[in-house]
Amino acid sequence: MGESENGKSRTIKIALAGNPNAGKTTIFNNLTGMHQHVGNYPGVTVEKKEGFLHYKGYDFVIVDLPGIYGLSAHSLDEIVARNYIVEEKPDVVIDVLDASNLERNFYLAVQLLELNVPLILALNMADMAKKKGMKINKERLSALTGVPIVLTVATRQVAMNDLLDAAIKLVESKAVPMRSRIHYGREVDRQIEIVMQFIKRAPEIARLYPPRWLAIKLLEQDAVVIQTISEKPQGKLLLEAAGKSSALLKALFKEDPETLIAERRYGFISGACDEAVTLDYERRHDVSDMIDTILLNRLLGLPIFLALIWLVFRFVFWASAPFERGIEYLFILLGRGVGSLFSPESPARSLIVEGVIGGVGSVLVFIPVIYILFFILSFLEDSGYLARSAFLMDKFMHKIGLHGRSFIPMLLGFGCSLPAIMATRSIEDEKDRLATMLAVPFMSCGARLPIYVLFIGAFFPEHQAGNVLFIIYLVGIAVGIAMAWFLRRFLLKGPTAPFVMELPPYRIPTMKAMLIHVWERGYLYLQKAGTVILAGCVIMWFLSHLPWQSPQIENPNWETTRLERSYAGKLGKAIMPVFHPAGLYDWRLGVGFVGGFFAKEIVVSTLGTLYAVGEGGGEKNPSLRSALQNARKADGSPLYAPLSALAAMIFSLLYIPCISTVAIIRRESNSWRWPAFAVVHTIVTAWVVAVIVFQAGRLLGLG
Ligand code: GDP
Ligand code: MG
């Protein structure tokens, strides 16, 4: 606990730990409201959310750790959470448990007990537990475990302050708590004692971890702990002793010590729950189970899932269109207003009106789409349905050598690849994880949405808009899965680890959680518009005006000629022949593709700038959409048709992950090989698929 010089205000640092879906984030949001800072994507850690609040004269810092099932070294999430607790030494750890699944959630609690950290158990979802007919005797449970227990209902803000009060009490009480300790049976306990003797003889090591916990981890042969210990003096001796004990247990019980220990923990838990929990009446058939008989039906499940997603896209288009037109109109007015402040010929006017307002505006128009889509996605996620889609895909995914579990990060990729790649940390098998990580960028993220909405709006009738969008997303999923299959089959060969899927019960999501989610997402988008995209627009404007050429007033096509001779024009024209097989001839689009590496929205903002600067802009084509519709080739035929627009969208969907994604793949895979691979294979794949779509479409007479 930190204390300022005059002792007036004290800081209490609380870490929230718990299984996924236990309600940590809801508690975190309740406690901190908007006083939080979310790790900003590029560079900063995404996995840790920190928030602040002031209560009863204390300053609280609250940290939302990743959801975990235990403290083993099997998944990165668990290692991250464990390291945080062991190394940062928060003043209090609040373990958030789903009280309606108490036994399963208790496994982590037991491990935290052993870690001997200052612990509070929040038995959250007390409402659900009650509905199930569970009566929890918290005094009893508290006595059995030796830690304070608070029953909470996070969604209704029940007992949030009790958590803080308990934390204050825990921090202020000087008494050493009496913890109950799990007995692992005579033989195991004896080996724990023996290893502890060795630990005591190595003070430098004893300072790092609680001795009993360390002894248990060494018997379990925990890879991370062994690594840390082996670097210390006296470490070798200790590891040797622990290795002997571990081998002895294995020989004795014909079973891994890790399994032995886990069994005993479950034994303790089931005993404790028997003591402290009574069932009021016979458990009724859960509502969740009933819904699942339909939604997870072997025949109907997948079609229902697809139909639902299809409806979502239709709805998103329909609901956002009026807002979009409104914002578009506002930007046109803004451009005219600002433009009238300058003389018509001044370069400053052109830079601001065409470069900045035209470019950034063309991206901001899509804010309503983004917000509405994210709102619905967070509804599906919070309700528990998204986790089920992974279950639906599980059987299929197994056939291609992956887990259904890999499907969840892929779905998260619809929002943004960065958190999706972070989410692969929950996948235990390293090869599974890499394959999933490399498949994620094919999922269509929010930044690509403006590209589709622009092209679909310009070249497809309104009643088809949702369908086209749906197809594009499906192509993304299909290519992503194909990629993962390819990787698992040829580059990352190995058996699939067995895994039991967890199905969280259905819940009605709270407005607050969804709004916070949408706000975070939308805020990142706005932030990007004000930084990366703005910079992209300014650079594009200069590229489209340099080298400087003296105007030829008498030439009516002067603007077009000038633009084509600029650096941007030269760049675009150099690239474009590659895209001719895909039916794409617009050099401005080529420039956009290059810019899109920095952020995919830049594809759109570049078109916005270049069309505003060039012939198509101004009064003749007030919106970028109509500029695209009216764009002509040299021979006077239209530059785009529905089929080539589709090819443009498919290429945008699949090519190159943005620069932040490349950076995070580099960080998460810990090598340059995989991000480099991702860059190359996405470009190749995108080109091939776009060409196939265009050529096949033409053969079918659609062009
Ligand atoms: P996390 O994964 O631990 O961060 O869990 P979340 O905070 O995201 O919560 C998962 C889901 O459970 C969300 O849909 C919440 O609205 C819901 N939830 C959280 N706390 C409660 C509760 O006390 N009662 C009920 N019925 N639902 C809750
Ligand atoms: Mg959470």
pLDDT tens, 419-470? 778 778 767 778 888 998 999 999 888 788 889 988 998 899 988 888 898 8
The CB of 150 under 6 Å from ligand 1? The reply is no
118 pLDDT band (50/70/90 cuts)? very high
297 neighbors 156 (Cβ within 8 angstroms): no
**pLDDT over 50 at 679, yes or no:** yes
Question: What are the φ/ψ torsions at residue 73 (nearest 5 degrees)?
Answer: -100, 30
- Which pLDDT does position 175 carry in this prediction? 64
Give the range among 330-334, 412-416, 487-491 with minimum mean pLDDT: 412-416
**pLDDT over 80 at 521, yes or no:** no
Ligand 1 centroid distance, CA of 155 (Å)? 7
**pLDDT over 60 at 518, yes or no:** yes
596 pLDDT band (50/70/90 cuts)? confident
- Which pLDDT does position 617 carry in this prediction? 43
Give the range among 178-182, 204-208, 325-329, 527-531 with minimum mean pLDDT: 178-182
648 neighbors 613 (Cβ within 8 angstroms): no
**Max Cα-Cα span within the chain:** 100
**pLDDT over 50 at 157, yes or no:** yes
Ligand 2 centroid distance, CA of 650 (Å)? 33
Hey, whose CA ends up nearest to atom 25 of ligand 1? 125
Q: Which of 16, 19, 25, 26 to mutate to test the pocket of ligand 1 (most atoms within 8 A of CB)?
A: 26
Tell me the average pLDDT of the chain.
83
Ligand 2 centroid distance, CA of 25 (Å)? 4
CA-to-CA dists, residue 480 to 130, 156, 267, 686, angstroms: 42, 39, 42, 11
**pLDDT over 50 at 40, yes or no:** no
Ligand 1 centroid distance, CA of 510 (Å)? 9
pLDDT, greater one: 533 or 580 = 580
Distance CA 451, CA 170 (A): 54
CA-to-CA dists, residue 629 to 404, 484, 540, 622, 623, angstroms: 42, 37, 22, 12, 10
Residue type, 676: A
Architecture of domain 11-172: 3-Layer(aba) Sandwich (3.40)
The CB of 65 under 6 Å from ligand 1? The reply is no
H helices of 529-641, where? 534-545, 558-565, 567-575, 587-595, 601-613, 624-630
Cα 481 off chain centre by: 18
The CB of 25 under 6 Å from ligand 1? The reply is yes
- Which pLDDT does position 186 carry in this prediction? 81
- Which pLDDT does position 1 carry in this prediction? 47
Q: Whole-structure pTM over 0.75, yes or no?
A: no
Ligand 1 atom with the shortest distance to the CA of 513: 16
CATH 1.10.287.1770 domain span(s) along the chain: 186-279
- Which pLDDT does position 109 carry in this prediction? 94
What average pLDDT does the segment 270-276 reach?
A: 82
**pLDDT over 80 at 396, yes or no:** no
Ligand 1 centroid distance, CA of 515 (Å)? 14
H helices of 220-300, where? 223-230, 235-253, 257-276, 287-295
- Which pLDDT does position 9 carry in this prediction? 62
Share of the chain above pLDDT 90, in %: 25
pLDDT, greater one: 125 or 384 = 125
Distance CA 355, CA 621 (A): 16
User: Which of 178, 190, 180 is closest to 216 using CA atoms?
Assistant: 190
- What's the pLDDT tens digit per position in 344-355? 777 788 788 877
The CB of 155 under 6 Å from ligand 1? The reply is yes
Q: Which ligand gives the minimal distance to the CA of 513?
A: 1
- Which pLDDT does position 614 carry in this prediction? 61
CATH number of 186-279: 3.30.200.20, 1.10.287.1770, 1.20.1070.10, 3.40.50.300? 1.10.287.1770
Q: Which of 134, 507, 517 to mutate to test the pocket of ligand 1 (most atoms within 8 A of CB)?
A: 507
Residue type, 78: E
4 pLDDT band (50/70/90 cuts)? very low
Q: Angle of helix 287-295 relative to helix 385-399, nearest 10 degrees?
A: 50
CATH 3.40.50.300 domain span(s) along the chain: 11-172
